[in-house]
Amino acid sequence: MDILSNSEFIELIPGLPSELGLECLTRLPHSAHRVALRVCNQWRHLFQSNDFYCHRKKTGHTRKVACLVQAREQPLHAEVEKPTGSTPPSYDITVFDPESMSWDRVDPVPEYPLGLPLFCQLISCEGKLVVMGGWNPASYEPLTAVFVYDFRTNMWRRGKDMPEKRSFFAAGSGQGRVFVAGGHDENKNALSTAWTYDPNSDEWTVLAPMSQERDECEGVVVGGEFWVVSGYSTESQGMFDQSAEVLNTASGQWRKVEGVWEAGRCPRFCVDIRENGKVVDPGLRIGVCSVRVGLKSLVTGSEYEGAPYGFYLVENDDGQNRKLTKISNVPHGYSGFVQSGCCVEI
Strands (E), 208-321: 218-222, 225-229, 244-248, 254-257, 286-293, 296-302, 310-315
Rounded CA gap, 90 and 303, in Å? 25
SS3 29: coil
pLDDT of residue 77: 42
pLDDT of residue 343: 95
Containing 214, the helix (H) or strand (E) segment is none
Question: Quick check: 87 pLDDT over 90?
Answer: no
The DSSP output letter for 236 is G
pLDDT mean across residues, the chain:
90
Helix 50-58 vs helix 18-26: angle between axes, to the nearest 10 degrees?
A: 80
Question: Is-contact 246 227, C-beta < 8 A?
Answer: yes
Question: Quick check: 76 pLDDT over 70?
Answer: no
Rounded CA gap, 231 and 227, in Å? 12
Question: Is-contact 151 130, C-beta < 8 A?
Answer: no
Rounded CA gap, 329 and 335, in Å? 10
The structural domains of the chain, with segments of one domain joined by +, span 3-58, 64-345
Instruction: Report the relative pairing of strands 254-257 and 286-293 from DSSP bridges.
Output: unpaired
pLDDT of residue 1: 56
Output phi, psi for 34, to 5 deg. Answer: -60, -40
58-73: pLDDT as tens digits: 999 999 999 999 998 7
Which whole number is the average pLDDT over 277-285? 77
Rounded CA gap, 265 and 125, in Å? 28
Which whole number is the average pLDDT over 34-40? 93
Strand partners, 342: 67
Question: Quick check: 75 pLDDT over 60?
Answer: no
- Please name which of 184, 209, 213 lies closest in space to residue 195, comparing C-alpha atoms: 209
> Helical H runs in the chain?
18-26, 33-36, 41-47, 50-58
Question: Which CATH number applies to 64-345: 1.10.40.50, 3.40.50.620, 2.120.10.30, 3.40.190.170?
Answer: 2.120.10.30
pLDDT of residue 79: 43
Identity at 111, one-letter amino acid code? E
Question: Is-contact 90 137, C-beta < 8 A?
Answer: yes
Q: What is the pTM of this model?
A: 0.90
Q: How many CB atoms lie within 10 A of CB 79?
A: 5
Question: Is-contact 134 116, C-beta < 8 A?
Answer: yes
Rounded CA gap, 66 and 16, in Å? 36
Which whole number is the average pLDDT over 192-206? 97
Rounded CA gap, 344 and 57, in Å? 12
